[in-house]
A and B are shown apart, each in its own frame.
Chain A
Amino acid sequence: SRSAFASFLFAPLFFQLYEPRVPTPGTERFRCKVHMKSFLGVFRSLPSLEKSVGKCLILLKPRASRLVLQLHCKYGVTKTHNLAFQECEELQAVFDTQRCSSHLCAPARVLAEAVVHFPLTLAEVTLGTGPGGKISLRNYVEDEAEPSKTMVTELWLAEDEFQSVAVSPGSRITFCLKEFRGLLTFAEASNLPLTIHFDEPGRPVVFTLDDTVLEVHLVLATLSNLESDSQPPLTNGVSHLPAPSDDFPDDLESYMVALETSTSEGGPPSPTFPLRTPQPPPSDPEEEDEEDEEGAVPGTPPHKKFRSLFFGSVLTPGGPGLAPTQEVLAEDSDGEC
């Protein structure tokens, strides 16, 4: 669905031994892909691996089209796994975190403790910036779900819980929580602070973990403005108090009067207050064209609302030449169609 990209870059120093393949002159760097399931199968039970495996050797055998994973275990036991690989094009989402208008950095633990309040089945979450440097997280309610029937959970993180906060206030992005949780699990385990770079709704959000020998990037598409505007407004969008205030109208007197004087026989209708303000039609013709062109890209649930034009297609060799009507958010360096 082209709405997410992750990369884990290990520097040679991460490894005890690193012998790169000497490339044949005139050829490009070697790139291949293997089945995730096969690869993960080799490292299935981490606790038992830690007890029994002394070292792990990773070898590329290009002529046999095999990636060899060899586990050297205790008592002279060696387990060799030969995984078939496929050569493939380079897949690299091009993004520039410098161009993002907002940056947040926090220990992974803080964010992990925040997302625990959302159910595991929740698909998308909205991150927002509020007054006083506070950062909010809220579950995203899909348009199809009835707003008067869905529970809304929201929490606020204080500025001092972050290692750095450089955000434009009043900004809000919605992205896939499931993928974010995955990265958080890794970040917590490796005890690395997590940096979030984001911009306007619709532009991808970039999560990075930095270490001396490891560089991790997770890039997720975000909901564009047209859809995210239909959400109930953030509770403290206009409030002066940073914490959820107590002055919400809790007197339902007028509501009760309306209820009691309702003339319908079978009881009052469910109290649904219209939450959506009528949306002006998208005035930007470019955006409309893109939505039509991409059409229904089969994939994970958020696809139809997220900007699926994540990887631009490169038609002319020798560089990213783009058709003028396309707006590409993150270009790739080769065509991967």
Chain B
Amino acid sequence: MRFRAKIVDLACLNHFSRVINTIAKLAKTCTLRLTVWKLYFILSDKVANGGASMWCELCQGNFFDEFQMEGVAAEHNEIYLELVPENLSRALKTAQNAKAVKIKLTNKHCPCLRVAVELPSLSSSSRIVTHDIPVRVIPRRIWNDFREPRVPDFDVSIYLPVLKTMKSVVERMKNLSNFIVIEANLSGEMNLKIETDLVSVTTHFKDLRNPPWVSEDACQSSAQDRDLESMAEARIDIKKLQQLLAGQQVNPTKALCNIVSKRIVHFILLHEDVSLQYFIPALA
């Protein structure tokens, strides 16, 4: 089992750092799945996370100049590691003008991801800073816990409003309440609502469009015969929503959410080479 990768291009490095920063905001600990073509950051829906789960997928070719991965076995050519993404974020934080960043899985005293940052320096040799990030290797028998979540059988799917606006609304609402209701319909309307003993606040968004999902096997029937004006709603932990929005440093190409009334809200944020899905369960 081996893993080595290298980033030489500064733009790729910045982009990768931004992805890691976003992940670090969403999960204290998460699973990194390495395959030949892709990297995945996975958070499965355990009680400890408040039931939220995450699936983030990157094509390694868009970030790394070199990428060598030899998995656990020939027929299971993948590696699953558990790590603290904040550590990776910190390691990359001061690498912004690096000549190269190498990442390697090592096992000196315990399994670590060694991030070696080569920086320009005035001396004859480059400055090299190494960060040893401890990881836990996840054994094959529990890989099933980390499968890609299915798109739920949603009631309404709608594009999100401009994230910056949505973020500032949610941040202010967070000061007033711990829970927020997201509701939306198939006419491009979305409301964000909070209600406390003293005050209730609703922000209305309209003219958002509804993404045209192509149903694979007519399984999206719950959405097809739906009254266009009828709102699907879910009451969720406001902090989780705020963390998701705060972690978005660059505007995604596409941002949408799927609401299963009173069950779950499924957010999909797509950038050119990164896709992020975040599931927030509804509370009573």
Contacts and interface: CB of A to CB of B under 8 A. Distances in A.
Contact of A244 (B3, B122, B128, B141): B128
A156 B122 CA distance: 13
Nearest to B121: A161
B124 A151 contact: no
Interface in A153-175: 153-158, 160-161
Nearest to A160: B123
A252 B130 contact: no
A272 interface: yes
B110 A156 contact: no
A248 B108 contact: yes
A99 interface: no
Given A116-B94, A151-B133, A250-B2, A243 B128 contact: yes
What size tier do the contact residues of chain B reach? 35 or more
Interface in A82-139: 110, 113-114, 116-117, 119
Interface stretch (B32-40, B99-107, B213-221, B267-275): B99-107
A151 B109 contact: no
A271 B136 contact: yes
Contacts of B127: 113-114, 155-157
B102 to A, nearest CB: 8
B109 A275 contact: yes
B263 interface: no
Given A119-B90, A250-B104, A252-B107, A152 B137 contact: no
A185 interface: no
A153 B127 CA distance: 13
A262 B138 CA distance: 12
Contact of A271 (B87, B90, B137, B142): B137
Contacts of B132: 151-154
B25 interface: no
A256 B74 CA distance: 14
Interface string B113-133: 010100001111101111111
A244 B116 contact: yes
Nearest to A119: B90
B91 interface: yes
Given A147-B109, A151-B133, A160 B124 contact: yes
A8 to B, nearest CB: 29
A41 interface: no
Contacts of B137: 252, 255-256, 259, 271
B211 interface: no
A150 interface: yes
B281 interface: no
Interface in A241-268: 242-244, 246, 248-253, 255-256, 259-260, 262, 267-268
28 contacts: A110-B122, A114-B127, A150-B134, A151-B133, A152-B131, A153-B91, A154-B129, A154-B130, A155-B130, A158-B123, A158-B125, A160-B124, A161-B122, A232-B109, A235-B130, A242-B125, A244-B130, A246-B104, A248-B114, A249-B106, A250-B2, A250-B3, A255-B111, A259-B137, A260-B139, A262-B139, A267-B139, A271-B110
Interface of A: 110, 113-114, 116-117, 119, 147-158, 160-161, 232, 235, 242-244, 246, 248-253, 255-256, 259-260, 262, 267-268, 270-273, 275
